[in-house]
Structure 1
Amino acid sequence: MTSRAFAGALALLVGAGGAARLLALPRLLPDLDAVNFARSLNGFDLAAQAPHFPGYPVYVAMARLASAAGASEVVALALPGLVLGVVAIGALGLVLRPYLGAVGALVAAVLLALLPLPVLFGATPGSDGTGLALLVLAACAVLVAGDSAPRVAVLAGVLAGVALGARPSFLPALLGLALVVPRGRRLAALAGGGLGVGGWLVPLVALTGPAELLRIGSGFLLGHAGKWGGTVAVRPELGWRLENFGFDILAAGLGLPWPGVDGDSVAVLAARLLLALGLAGALVALAHAALRESLSASEHRVTLLALALGVPYGAWMFLGQNLLKARHALPVVLALALLVAVGVAVLARACPSRVSLSLVGAVAVSTAAVMLPVGLEQGREPSPAARLVAHVSSTLSPSGTLLFTGEEARLFEHYVPYFRAGRPASGEQLRREVERVAAAGADVYVTSTAPGAEALAPHLEPVSRFACDRRVRSHAHDIVLFHYRPAPPASSEKVL
């Protein structure tokens, strides 16, 4: 493929990735995290969860710039991830071409541009898309650091440090990248990392105060690790973790078929199966070449890079993250995309150029086909939580009505603050509060996401259901609104 043809194909993929993200741009804030980020647009305050710890200062700074330029809150929060995501697609293709050839580089760009998870969270009003894009750029800089001047290693460190300020939970992936920095460039990369981290850590400490930052951070980390964060300490069941880990990566991340998830048309299901075969074939080709030690030096380098960022992060995701939220799989999906690109490059060396280019086309078509339904659903339909808020505000009176719910309470506070919506800390607190306010004459509603709601089942009458494809929102994708009916007072018989 000529340089001009490659540039044209890559430009087409960059445009397709940007268009896909625009299609997936939601109309309303979808959840608690998005509301917390929206609150930070008017004032950065960790103590008030504007946003919540660890603050994501790099992402918030970018979003505030977009807001100051006149963007709406949803657009301002989505714009950093969308713009940087498009930049990352182009950078990945350009950087990988000398290492994997035109075909391998284009496949990597296709997957980053069109896989469901990067598209959905590249358009979501949150920090995930920004963090992923900066992780891609840091990985690109690390890859070329050994073949370039020391300043490229400094740039790699700076990008890694900035990525940490946009998405701190990506730390294991960034540390993995540090392992593959060439030995002669490590000091330069370390200096760059210090600059990148210092650029956001110093303002964060100055704004919050050292003692207050320590207090907020320790409280958050203790809660995340042992109470509500969904870590292995909170949800230790191996079967549960394996099922959700697999779903997050394979179904939500790559768009592959998954048991119990249906609703696809025949064409989309066929595309999922075709994509599964293509990705599996590329990985088998990579494994075969690695076992035969026939990988080229450049292919071996990209493979090591993918494993270095994917394996440590994958372990952290499995043990230390809430697996109900598929967004945590983004670095693993990136690592798999790089491995697939290497596998395709191996296959391309053994195929005529026309066949190799057809591989790129097949991957692009099948990936776009599995991405479009979920992308369009996210862009057209508000999240179940947002639809719950809209339904309540349009059908119920705020006077005398009390709601008990989960994370959706923050959406009520943001969009309809005149409704009283509480988020109980435990099932026991939910039971006590519901019984108390119901006895006082309040009209009580409870959602299925309220902690311990199942214990009230005999008194809950379903009112409405708000659901979406689990691949669009793996967390809180099915919310039921119930009307609480107190038990009638016990009848007493008059003894004669």
Structure 2
Amino acid sequence: MNLEKMNRIIILGLSSLAVLYMFAVQLNSLNSFVASWDQVDFTLAMDRFDLRAMQPHFPGYPYFILGGMLLKFFVGFPNKALVIFNVLVYASSILPVYLLASRVLSRTNAFLIAAAIYTASYPLIIVNQPMSEGAALAAFWWFFWSIAAAESRPAGKWMLLPLILFSVLLGIRLSYIPMGIGLIYLLYRKWAKREITLGSVIKYVVLAGLLQLVWVIGLIISEGGLSNFLELAFGFTGGHFQEWGGTSASNDLSFFARLKAFLFTNILWWGIFSRTTVLMVLYIVIGIVLFLPASKSKAFKENSVRIGALLFLAYAVWALFAQNIEKPRHILPLALLLLFLGLTAYFKKRAEVYASLLVVVVIIAQAIISSSYIQKQAAVEPAVYQLAHYLEEQSEDFVLYTWEETRVLQYLEMPYPHKRIYTYGNFLHDQGLYKGKTVYLTNSVVEGFRLQGFDLDGKLEKVETFTSDILFDPVYHKIILYKWTP
């Protein structure tokens, strides 16, 4: 056995073990907590699908809920069924990533890219939550691969696959709609190469719309008609873009502050480095090696890389302006696409064994860090659970005012009164109805009142602080309980 073959066996063996280890850890450490508003929405939908009751919230994510319902027959717990569905579907994404990378690189390096993307820590944390992101990421990779596969083959049956997978993708997570630029690119390329006529382009566009109607019509029927569905749609989109959605239209951050948070905080520090210095240093080393002088790379002349760059740019514009900047999970496809593009360029420039071994080190480091996070997420109570159980033990009569935390308290069926409150005036009126009772507020409510311009100094007594890992819940990882003392 020559040295090159032995090195390849070692590289593939170590990276394969890391992938299998991660998959085993995910299945063995299923997250049983339902710790955020969105997670409650998805979990409740497993028992009764009702958009008006926000089970789940609009647009319904029907394919994700359907997948969870199928697994619920075997699992029994709705939240765990959703997590298992995410884990299983996300594991399948190794294949399309490998197929995309193998169009440009050797099979060994293509597998290393697939393993590096699969073991990435922050995406795995989100995959192990009862939300649609994990399944959506998997559907995205299959959609991405189908575009590259269809472009490289003569127009025909292969053109149907991207249209079908785009319907599946949006039926899992509608916010991936900018990825539709991949279909536009595919149709343009086929038309430019005279493989299809303008009439065929129109036919494929109509077919793509009809495939989306498969799940949209299902939602319309479930809501009792088109007018009810449209009412929900306009109400949700209006709130998302103008009120609570954290978009550029509803957030006070300047453009440059938003761009900085988007690029450096969300994509790099959270999405790729997973808030760990070890991964940051390793990826910086890879970046340095990538930009060392070498022969010119032709990686970006390959169609899979061009398509990946196009998808990245389209979704980046959408995520920057139309997604909640305070929730880094919205940039997950960008972080993984950046890894795909960066590592592809890296291997095109660096064919040496040390370059592959460096990526293997990253894969092993990610597997160790990811497994630690996943086990911790499954074992340690979220801050909102700690709050719920602390108050459950209190003997005096009280009322609790929260922001979004009350959605989780409702799910946990806490026996004490708790209310969601947004404005200071409404709070002053409402708390007056509970004379003789202790009045508690969470820090999210207090911060909201202060942003409304009200001075609460001398009116609050800090009671307790509950904390969990910021990676698991960036918004409610720290909850401070206050007592109202006017």
Task: Tell me if TM exceeds 0.5.
Answer: yes
Output the CA distance in 1 between the equivalents of 2:299 and 2:279: 31
Counterparts of 1:148-187 in structure 2, within 5 Å, are: 148=153, 150-176=156-182, 178-180=184-186, 182-183=189-190, 184=195, 187=201
Counterparts of 1:32-431 in structure 2, within 5 Å, are: 32-148=37-153, 150-176=156-182, 178-180=184-186, 182-183=189-190, 184=195, 187=201, 190=205, 193-194=208-209, 196-208=211-223, 209-238=225-254, 240-245=257-262, 246-255=264-273, 269-279=277-287, 281-282=289-290, 284=291, 294-296=297-299, 300-349=302-351, 351=352, 354-393=353-392, 395-397=393-395, 400-431=397-428
Residues 14 and 86, structure 1, Cα contact 8 Å, conserved in 2: no
Residues 62 and 80, structure 1, Cα contact 8 Å, conserved in 2: yes
Q: Could you tell me which runs of 5 or more consecutive residues in structure 1 were left unpaired when the two chains were aligned.
A: 258-267, 488-496
Q: Kindly tell me: are residues 437 and 232 of structure 1, through their superposed partners in 2, closer, same or farther at Cα, counting changes over 3 Å? A: same
Output the CA distance in 2 between the equivalents of 1:75 and 1:376: 15
Name the aligned partner's letter for residue 360 of structure 2: G
Q: Kindly tell me: are residues 271 and 325 of structure 1, through their superposed partners in 2, closer, same or farther at Cα, counting changes over 3 Å? A: closer
Output the CA distance in 2 between the equivalents of 1:384 and 1:211: 40
Cα drift, residue 20 of structure 1: 4.7
Query: Which deviations, in whole Å up to 9, do the C-alpha atoms of 1:191-219 show, x marking residues without a partner?
Result: 66345423311211111121101001101
Output the CA distance in 1 between the equivalents of 2:149 and 2:219: 31
Q: Could you tell me which runs of 5 or more consecutive residues in structure 2 were left unpaired when the two chains were aligned.
A: none
Output the CA distance in 1 between the equivalents of 2:482 and 2:27: 35
Output the CA distance in 2 between the equivalents of 1:156 and 1:17: 29
- Give secondary structure in 2 for the equivalent of 1:445: strand
- Which is further off, 205-214 or 273-282? 273-282
Output the CA distance in 1 between the equivalents of 2:474 and 2:227: 36
TM superposition score normalised by structure 1: 0.85
- Give secondary structure in 1 for the equivalent of 2:241: helix
Cα drift, residue 271 of structure 1: 4.2
Query: Which deviations, in whole Å up to 9, do the C-alpha atoms of 1:128-161 show, x marking residues without a partner?
Result: 1111110111111111112236323311221111
Cα drift, residue 428 of structure 1: 3.4
- Give secondary structure in 2 for the equivalent of 1:479: strand
Output the CA distance in 1 between the equivalents of 2:412 and 2:418: 12
2:463 is the counterpart of 1:463: yes
Output the CA distance in 2 between the equivalents of 1:370 and 1:132: 20
Q: Kindly tell me: are residues 75 and 164 of structure 1, through their superposed partners in 2, closer, same or farther at Cα, counting changes over 3 Å? A: same
2:430 is the counterpart of 1:433: yes
- When the two chains are superposed, the root-mean-square deviation of aligned CA atoms in Å is 2.9
- Give secondary structure in 2 for the equivalent of 1:483: strand
The residue that corresponds to 1:265 in the other structure is: none
Cα drift, residue 369 of structure 1: 4.3
Residues 158 and 192, structure 1, Cα contact 8 Å, conserved in 2: no
In the alignment of these two chains, the number of paired residues is: 463
Residues 104 and 344, structure 1, Cα contact 8 Å, conserved in 2: no
Residues 397 and 437, structure 2, Cα contact 8 Å, conserved in 1: yes
Moved over 6 A (4+): 6-10
Q: Kindly tell me: are residues 348 and 404 of structure 1, through their superposed partners in 2, closer, same or farther at Cα, counting changes over 3 Å? A: same
Cα drift, residue 244 of structure 1: 3.1
2:448 is the counterpart of 1:452: yes
Name the aligned partner's letter for residue 92 of structure 1: V
Residues 278 and 363, structure 1, Cα contact 8 Å, conserved in 2: no
Cα drift, residue 44 of structure 1: 1.0
Cα drift, residue 230 of structure 1: 0.7
Cα drift, residue 162 of structure 1: 0.6
Residues 254 and 333, structure 1, Cα contact 8 Å, conserved in 2: yes
What percent of counterpart residues are identical?
24
Cα drift, residue 457 of structure 1: 4.5
Residues 19 and 119, structure 2, Cα contact 8 Å, conserved in 1: no
